[in-house]
Every structure is written in structure tokens, then in C-alpha cells.
Structure 1
Amino acid sequence: MVALAYTNIFTADIDRLAEFYSALFGFTEIVESRSPIFRGFTTGSASLGFSGPGAFDLLGLTPQEGPGDRVMQTFNVENKDEVDAYSTKAVELGASIVKEPFETYYGWYQSVLRDPDGNCFRVNYPGAPA
């Protein structure tokens, strides 16, 4: 089985965005991976990284131009009350609500937000295990 190890968000200000997600969810920084162009955090089964503009050259990538959502992070929580609480806290830390917490057609309870950079993310309770 393949497992997701890292998901990274490119940002012009890695310190600001790393602090936002760390303050919101209480993630622990992987200090050994810190560099002028990267911050990484443990989040459970996968890690979350923040890559600065210098990472494009390092990875042989070109920044994408133009509007549109290309990636969305989903953070699972343990119950509906946590969806509400984390959504409120996210706004207090500088996020904006795209869609208030709601029940999905597939039985999840989630909110859709934008972080301070405008990246879309969800706070999600996938329901009780079957």
C-alpha cells in the first residue's frame, strides 16, 4: 500500500503560514527539516510542509500562474463540535469561511475555509466508523 508522506503548500511567507496551521491545529514542527525555504510539521499519518519561493528552483518547478483552486487540504477531527470550534479558531487566526459547517450528502460534517494566503482547506468530521 502506498502512503502519503507529505503534502506541501507553496507560500511567499513560510513563517506566517506555518504559524497559522501550527497555532490552529497544534502541529509539532519537525525541526530537523527546517531551512530558509521549508518548514515541516507532523500531523498524524502524514506531514504538512510549507515551501518558500526558493523551493521552486530546488525542485525544478515553475510557479503556476492564474486563478483557481488546484489543491485542498482536509483535516479530520474527532466530532462535529471540533469542526465548529476549529472553524471559529481559524477565522480568529486570519482565515476566512467559504462555507459554514454543513452535513455533506455522503454523511460528513465539514467547513470550507481559506487560510491567510487564500488556500482552500476543510475541517472535517467523517462520521462514526461503520
Structure 2
Amino acid sequence: MNIFASDIDRLADFYSRLLDLEEIVESRTPLYRGFRCGGASLGFSAMDAYEILALQRPEGQGERNVITFDVDDQAEVRRLVAAASSMGASILKEPFETYYGWYQAVLRDPEGNAFRLNFPGKAA
């Protein structure tokens, strides 16, 4: 899960201290802080990340979370994008290599929630 925040340092610090989360240091950028959270990851993005992900910045209350699902490789990202699209999802951003070296796509599920399919690494 990814939570947008106007102050990512403050919000990341709150959750990491509250839940004793381990930071994924290699993913840290000025716009992002990521943490291991059991079998999932929890991330915090600066508001400027809306543009990078091709999402609309909300006015007041609105879209402030993006759920991220990690997969085993780039081919699985592409396969799942096609499957999700055929099941009614909208593709917001086709699979791409992120500025921090991961490979992902951004979609909106049939209910309108934004989510990412993500390979957290480079192709072998």
C-alpha cells in the first residue's frame, strides 16, 4: 500500500515507529519512503508522485492511496496488466521502468481504486 502525504518524512516516521517497520533503504528518494510490512510493503509518496504515476491530484479529500502488488518478473507485470484490463480495469500507465529501477504499471480497478503491479528489481 502506498499513502500520499504532504510531509512524507513525518508520516513515514509515524508508521515506522508505531509499527516497528524496517525501511527499504534502496527505494528511498526525495519523493518516496518504503517499509517492509509483513508479506507486503507500505510506502509513503510525496504529492509530486501523482504526476509521475499519471494520477490526478485530489482537491481536499480524495485519492490518497495506491495499493501495490509485487510480482516475480517483468513478464508477470505485463501478463497481469492484460488480464486486469480484460476483467474491467483501466490502464492509467502502461508498464514502465521507474526512476528508481523497478518495473511497474498503474491501473484503476473496476471500482475506481488505483493500484500498481510491480516487479521490484531489474530483469536478469
How does the TM-score come out when normalised to structure 2?
A: 0.51
Q: Which of 89, 95, 117 does residue 95 from structure 1 map onto?
A: 89
Residue 2 of structure 1: how far off its partner (Å): 3.1
Q: Take 1:67 and 1:120, find their aligned partners in 2: how far apart are those partners?
A: 15
Q: Take 1:88 and 1:100, find their aligned partners in 2: how far apart are those partners?
A: 10
Question: Percent identity over the alignment?
Answer: 57
Structure 1 moving runs of 4+ over 6 Å: none
1:109 maps onto 2:103 in alignment: yes
1:69 maps onto 2:63 in alignment: yes
Match of 1:2 in 2: 20
Match of 2:116 in 1: 122
Q: Take 2:113 and 2:20, find their aligned partners in 1: how far apart are those partners?
A: 26
1:84 maps onto 2:84 in alignment: no
Task: Give the RMSD, CA atoms, in angstroms.
Answer: 2.8
Classify the secondary structure of the residue corresponding to 2:107.
strand
Match of 1:57 in 2: none
Output the amino acid matched with 2:92: V
Unaligned runs of 5+ in 2: 1-18, 22-37, 41-59
Residue 68 of structure 1: how far off its partner (Å): 3.4
Residue 96 of structure 1: how far off its partner (Å): 0.5
Q: Take 2:120 and 2:105, find their aligned partners in 1: how far apart are those partners?
A: 12
Output the amino acid matched with 2:20: V
Residue 67 of structure 1: how far off its partner (Å): 6.7
How does the TM-score come out when normalised to structure 1?
A: 0.49
Q: Work out the number of aligned pairs and report it.
A: 72
Q: Take 1:92 and 1:68, find their aligned partners in 2: how far apart are those partners?
A: 26
Q: Take 2:72 and 2:65, find their aligned partners in 1: how far apart are those partners?
A: 23
* Structure ranking higher in strand proportion: 2
